């Protein structure tokens, strides 16, 4: 049985559980349950704090887990990234008061930096030869400067709204581009490939739609230039020999633009359908 660590709280938990459901796994029904076996799919889910997941996977106690890249690097657990999962994107940045004297990385020399990710920040500063004092906080790090326990912070930034509300401004280089990831441990369980294929299927299903349309046969080459599909478009005959029916996968972001172009080429009855699951 493949043993999978899933975040039980925070920014990752809801989407991670949704992805697993879309990938065909059964999840826990009671949010107080910490373990759930999906016997049919031969997997067992362990609902854990996002910060602890790399520790369990790195030690080999669990086979794989869903966590954040920032949490993995901060853990020094020996777990490794298997694949990005394309949600919970953020950057990890330094920030300081807009009107203060800490404006660039070198200004951090001898200063206090508050963070919930001390290992990640320490590694970054050491590599660049900056000696600062790290102040470890559990969360709400943005308040540390105002409350006088630090001169700057290093934290997760998504929209930047939390920083702005605390009167802070980003400075210095990007510490890390983070995202939700699947991580693995010292030995690769044979069931990991199937899990990964299913999760990638969910990502494809979210990213693409199916376009169906009717087209005059003599415009087929031009239409294939507009939307070529994964391999090549599926083309079926219509009763009228001058027309064909075409089916193609396109990126959902581009669907409307592609529909406009196909319409201009003379396509009719252009339909968009969502994909529920996929294996490419
Ligand atoms: N606002 C956000 N946007 C995108 N990703 C985020 C955001 N906040 C946190 N994350 C990411 O989510 C992961 C877990 O962080 P999260 O804040 O959910 O955990 P936590 O701080 O331990 O929990 P909590 O905030 O509930 O106490 C990290 O990888 C982090 O980068
Ligand atoms: O750039 P923003 O869109 O404002 O998001 C970033 C904020 O989100 C997270 O906070 P969270 O809600 O997890 O609280 P925490 O700081 O207590 O972990 C993170 O720690 C930042 O504070
Ligand atoms: Mg948080």
- 280 within a domain of the structure (yes/no): no
pLDDT single digits (tens) 88-122: 999 999 999 999 999 999 999 999 999 999 999 99
Domain match, 13 and 152 both:
no
CA-10 nearest atom, ligand 1:
18
Domain match, 164 and 96 both:
yes
pLDDT at 280: 80
Domain match, 264 and 161 both:
no
- 195 within a domain of the structure (yes/no): no
pLDDT single digits (tens) 3-14: 999 999 999 999
Residue nearest to atom 19 of ligand 2 (CA): 156
- Distance from Cα 218 to the centre of ligand 1, integer Å: 53
pLDDT single digits (tens) 173-220: 999 999 999 999 999 999 999 999 999 999 999 999 999 999 999 999
Domain match, 62 and 185 both:
yes
The residues pairing with 182 across neighbouring beta strands, listed in sequence order, are 66, 83
Q: Give the per-residue SS3 of the chain.
A: CEEEEEECCHHHHHHHHHHHHHCCCCCCCCCCCCEEEECCCCEEEEEECHHHHHHHHHCCCCCEEEEEHHHHHHHCCCCEEEEECCCCCEEEEEEEECCCCCCCHHHHCCCEEEECCHHHHHHHHHHCCCCCEEEECCCCHHHCCCCCCCCEEEEEECCCHHHHHCCEEEEEEEEEEECEEEEECCCCCCCHHHHHHHHHHHHHHHHEEEEEEEEEHHHHHHHHHHCCCCCCCEEEECCCCCEEEEEEEEEHHHHHHHHHHHHHCCCEEEEEEECCCCCC
Please state the rounded mean pLDDT for residues 81-87: 95
- 8 within a domain of the structure (yes/no): yes
Domain match, 95 and 160 both:
yes
pTM of the model: 0.89
Domain match, 107 and 186 both:
no
Domain match, 22 and 74 both:
yes
Is the beta carbon of 155 within 6 A of some atom in ligand 2? Answer: yes
- 196 within a domain of the structure (yes/no): no
Question: What is the interface pTM, i.e. ipTM, of the complex?
Answer: 0.96
Q: Domain range holding 142? A: 90-177
Is the beta carbon of 156 within 6 A of some atom in ligand 2? Answer: yes
CA-158 nearest atom, ligand 2:
1
| Distance between CA atoms of residues 268 and 279, nearest Å | 29
Q: Domain containing 220 — which CATH number?
A: 3.30.70.120
Domain match, 66 and 81 both:
yes
CA-138 nearest atom, ligand 2:
17
Q: Domain containing 103 — which CATH number?
A: 3.40.190.10
- 198 within a domain of the structure (yes/no): no
CA-155 nearest atom, ligand 2:
20
- 200 within a domain of the structure (yes/no): no
Domain match, 148 and 133 both:
yes
- 203 within a domain of the structure (yes/no): no
Which residues contact ligand 1 via a Cβ below 6 A? 9-12, 50-51, 68, 70-71, 88, 90, 139, 156, 158, 178
Q: Which ligand is nearest to the CA of 179?
A: 1
Domain match, 65 and 183 both:
yes
Give the total number of structural domains in the chain: 3
Domain match, 121 and 67 both:
no
């Amino acid at each position: 049985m493949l043993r999978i660590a899933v975040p039980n709280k925070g920014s990752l938990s809801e989407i991670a559980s949704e992805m697993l459901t879309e990938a065909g796994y059964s999840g826990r029904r009671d949010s107080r349950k910490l373990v759930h076996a999906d016997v049919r799919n031969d997997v067992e889910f362990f609902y854990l704090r996002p910060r602890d997941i790399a520790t369990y996977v790195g030690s080999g106690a669990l086979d794989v887990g869903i966590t954040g890249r920032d949490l993995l690097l901060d853990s020094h657990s020996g777990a490794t990234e298997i694949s990005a999962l394309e949600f919970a994107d953020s950057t990890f940045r330094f920030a300081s008061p807009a009107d203060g004297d800490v404006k660039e990385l070198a200004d951090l020399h001898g200063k206090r930096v508050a963070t919930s990710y001390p290992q990640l920040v320490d590694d970054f500063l050491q590599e660049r030869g900056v000696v600062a004092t790290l102040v470890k906080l559990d969360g709400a790090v943005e308040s540390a400067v105002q409350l006088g326990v630090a001169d700057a912070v290093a934290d997760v930034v998504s929209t930047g709204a939390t920083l702005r509300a605390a009167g802070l401004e980003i400075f210095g280089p990007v510490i890390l581009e983070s995202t939700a990831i699947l991580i693995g441990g010292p030995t690769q369980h044979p069931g990991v490939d199937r899990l990964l294929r299913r999760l990638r299927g969910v990502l494809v299903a979210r990213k693409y739609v199916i376009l169906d349309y009717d087209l005059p046969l003599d415009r087929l080459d031009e239409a294939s230039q507009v939307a070529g599909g994964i391999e090549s478009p599926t083309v079926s005959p219509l009763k009228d020999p001058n027309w064909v029916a075409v089916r193609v996968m396109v990126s959902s972001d581009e669907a409307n633009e592609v529909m406009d172009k196909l319409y201009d080429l003379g396509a009719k009855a252009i339909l968009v359908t969502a994909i529920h699951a996929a294996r490419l």
